Amino acid sequence: MPPHTKLLKVVLLGDGGVGKSSLMNRFVSNKFDSQSFHTIGVEFLNKDVTIKGENYTLQIWDTAGQERFKSLRTPFYRGADICMLTFAVDDRKSFENLPMWKKEFLYYADIQDGTPFPFIVLGNKVDMPNHEVGQDIAQAWCQKNGSIPYFETSAKDSIRVDEAFNSAVTQFRSMEDKLEVRPQPTNSVDLRKKTAANNTCSC
Ligand SMILES: Nc1nc2c(ncn2[C@@H]2O[C@H](COP(=O)(O)OP(=O)(O)OP(=O)(O)O)[C@@H](O)[C@H]2O)c(=O)[nH]1
């Protein structure tokens, strides 16, 4: 890591199939795979960014959205700096599950509900023709849940993906002073030397 680089742990959550892996791969490698497989456990990739003159390494944790992998993903929430809650705009159920994802994150990250925390909401697959969740409905939910920034994205067509990740860092910066000292992972490993490598963990 270059000097004066801050490591930020970013956790991507949401129902299986909404496009979390695809968003991470678009952001880190500028690639899209239409045959993307379900994630088992968690995977992470690092990407270096500079926001307003400050260097950051974003350590992006892509979690498995399917219910059966809950026990594999939840241990990785502790120590997160940013949480990106993801749904697909063509899948109403995935939007309706956002409160469940937020609650699960706060519980396993050991953060009290109501404490300021940098969340971002992504409505992915905006390239799809049939939207079951309108921008107004999603924005209203974000507003009600602590004025969370909302982005309609497409990993496929590369729409607003960089903007959403960069905004997540800006959101972190704006709240940094207010964030409580949060519990760090007990089973931590030093992952800071790895950058843009495909690292899989299904432990
Ligand atoms: N049209 C469209 N398809 C997408 C987009 N993003 C992802 N997909 C497709 O949706 C499917 C699921 O994408 P993934 O990235 O694997 O979804 P995930 O949320 O990581 O799924 P889990 O690993 O099961 O939690 C794949 O077939 C992707 O190619 C998008 O922006 N637009």
pLDDT band at 186 (very low <50, low <70, confident <90, very high): very low
Average pLDDT, the chain: 88
Tokens matching residue 155: 């990993």
pTM of the model: 0.89
- Domain extent, residue 115, equals 6-181
For residue 179, is pLDDT > 80? no
Phi (first) and psi of residue 10, to 5 degrees:
-115, 125
Residue 202 lies in a domain: no
Residue of minimum CA distance from atom 7 in ligand 1: 19
**Residue 160, domain CATH:** 3.40.50.300
pLDDT over 90, % of the chain? 75
Cβ of 21 closer than 6 Å to ligand 1, yes or no, is: yes
Ligand 1 atom, smallest distance to 15 CA? 25
Cβ of 130 closer than 6 Å to ligand 1, yes or no, is: no
Residue 174 lies in a domain: yes
Residue 187 lies in a domain: no
Cβ of 137 closer than 6 Å to ligand 1, yes or no, is: no
Greater pLDDT, 113 or 26: 26
Helices 20-29, 161-175: crossing angle, 10 deg rounding: 90
Task: Identify whether the C-beta of residue 21 lies closer than 8 Å to the C-beta of residue 27.
Answer: no
> For residue 121, how many other CB atoms are within 10 A of its CB?
25
Helices (H), 81-193: 92-96, 98-109, 135-144, 161-175
Q: What is the pLDDT of residue 177?
A: 77
Cβ of 154 closer than 6 Å to ligand 1, yes or no, is: yes
Residue 1 lies in a domain: no
Interatomic CA distance for residues 111 and 202, integer angstroms: 24
Q: What is the pLDDT of residues 81-90, one digit of tens each?
A: 999 999 999 9
Q: Which of 42, 32, 82 is nearest to 66 (CA)?
A: 42
- As for how many domains the chain has, the answer is 1
Compute the average pLDDT of residues 136-153: 97
Q: What is the pLDDT of residue 189?
A: 42
Q: Which of 58, 70, 75 is nearest to 97 (CA)?
A: 70
Residue 176 lies in a domain: yes
Residue 144 lies in a domain: yes
Residue of minimum CA distance from atom 29 in ligand 1: 34
pLDDT band at 202 (very low <50, low <70, confident <90, very high): very low
Ligand 1 atom, smallest distance to 14 CA? 19
For residue 180, is pLDDT > 80? no
Residue 196 lies in a domain: no
- Beta-carbon contacts of 157 under 8 Å, excluding residues fewer than 6 positions away, are 127
For ligand 1, mutation pick of 21, 73, 154, 198 (most atoms within 8 Å of CB): 21
Task: Identify whether the C-beta of residue 71 lies closer than 8 Å to the C-beta of residue 23.
Answer: no
pLDDT band at 40 (very low <50, low <70, confident <90, very high): confident
Ligand 1 atom, smallest distance to 157 CA? 31
Beta-strand relationship, 5-14 and 54-63: parallel
Compute the average pLDDT of residues 171-179: 86
Phi (first) and psi of residue 93, to 5 degrees:
-60, -40
Residue 198 lies in a domain: no
Interatomic CA distance for residues 167 and 175, integer angstroms: 12
Compute the average pLDDT of residues 157-172: 97
